Structure 1
């Protein structure tokens, strides 16, 4: 964990009022003429977490820091819930949103880097339920009258988008605000399946002192490439391209392959 220590979020409010909110009203920047404000999650282990000292840590934050610093960019991390961070990117109050999937709706107000890793999307269940609940498709959720917990506004692939927006599928989806809340609902038998990155949820449960109360379900819903999403109000296409080129270079290193393993991307 020591190697994951990054910049503290002590100056976030100062950045918001002295930089972030004002930059939303200025011209998009094409270089690193000011610090870039990057959204971070407090609980998305092992990708992004807040440590006991208030620092943004996790392998995504380490990777992003290395990429941006290779371009001479200074950065500041801001902890923010996912749904609010999409609003902040749209309105120019946050410059960069990591772990973002490309969608046509988001492309209306944001720019995207090349992928920097893959999300393996599936479910966690209560310990012992992985063998009891048989899944081969989302139709089995309806057939068994199960309820899926889903972090509000998180994109989990087109198959799930169609499912949750369908008249029948929507009855089997319960939105939650953040991952830890979803774990609480799962363990309280309020939902049967928690959708997301299974390995991340298992790690979160351990960090919350819940031990081996949850387990990964073997069904894999999708593999989704994730990117850095840039606010079109604050980041010019030229800077977005420079950052993409820096990501491409970093994915070729041995350190990248060691950190991300089978979640890494192979960019030609």
Structure 2
């Protein structure tokens, strides 16, 4: 996104200030107009109250990841993820980044009353907790968790997403309604389409 954002905003890269902040603070700052753009992110109804969303910047998978070395999830290794069989996930600990969600259905094992949820600040922190067994299942964007598994010099074969627990989602940029950039979303969307076409041509 450090390379991509200046292109779709049509500004020099040196004019863009990037910050990595806790998710709740990011949303709060956007509501106050203290930052212009958040992303990549998911579009939700709640966020529409204070953000204007661009067209899809890219598509990606978000999955429920586990560690093969965790004895508490051995019974899940050869079975497919099934929303209707929440008992398989009883007493397991799900980790998620602040602000992330996965399947709002009350029947989802992720939302079962016997499942403990732990919110973490960063994907790196979540990977460390998954590796150490402090969480049993971690909700993560696939390329990002794969990056940190390598970055932390862990064995990538020890980690994998649960079968059937992957959702393809559209990632967009959220622009604060209090930012002057909110008035330029049509031009930004045109630039997103142009850049996507260029990238496709290069491939």
Q: Shorter-chain TM-score: which interval? A: 0.7 to 0.9
Provide the TM-score with structure 1 as the length reference.
0.63
Aligned-pair CA distance for 1:136 = 2.5
CA contact (8 A) 1:123 1:198 kept: no
Aligned with residue 65 of structure 2, among 116, 124, 134:
124
Aligned with residue 240 of structure 1, among 157, 180, 185:
185
Aligned-pair CA distance for 1:142 = 3.6
Aligned with residue 74 of structure 1, among 15, 18, 21:
15
Aligned with residue 102 of structure 1, among 28, 31, 43:
43
SS in 1 for 2:59: strand
SS in 2 for 1:76: coil
Please tell me whether residue 151 in structure 1 is matched to residue 71 in structure 2.
no
Give aligned pairs, total. 196
CA displacement, residues 33-56 of structure 1 (integer Å, 9 cap, x when unaligned): xxxxxxxxxxxxxxxxxxxxxxxx
Aligned to 1:173: 117
Aligned with residue 147 of structure 2, among 203, 210, 217:
203
Where structure 2 has 5 or more consecutive residues not aligned to the other structure, the ranges are none
Structure of higher RCO (CA pairs closer than 8 Å, 6+ residues apart): 2
Aligned-pair CA distance for 1:171 = 3.0
Aligned-pair CA distance for 1:213 = 6.3
Provide the TM-score with structure 2 as the length reference.
0.81
Where structure 1 has 5 or more consecutive residues not aligned to the other structure, the ranges are 1-59, 259-268
Looking at structure 1, the residues matched to 13 and 19 of structure 2 have their Cα atoms a distance apart, in angstroms, of 20
CA contact (8 A) 1:70 1:246 kept: no
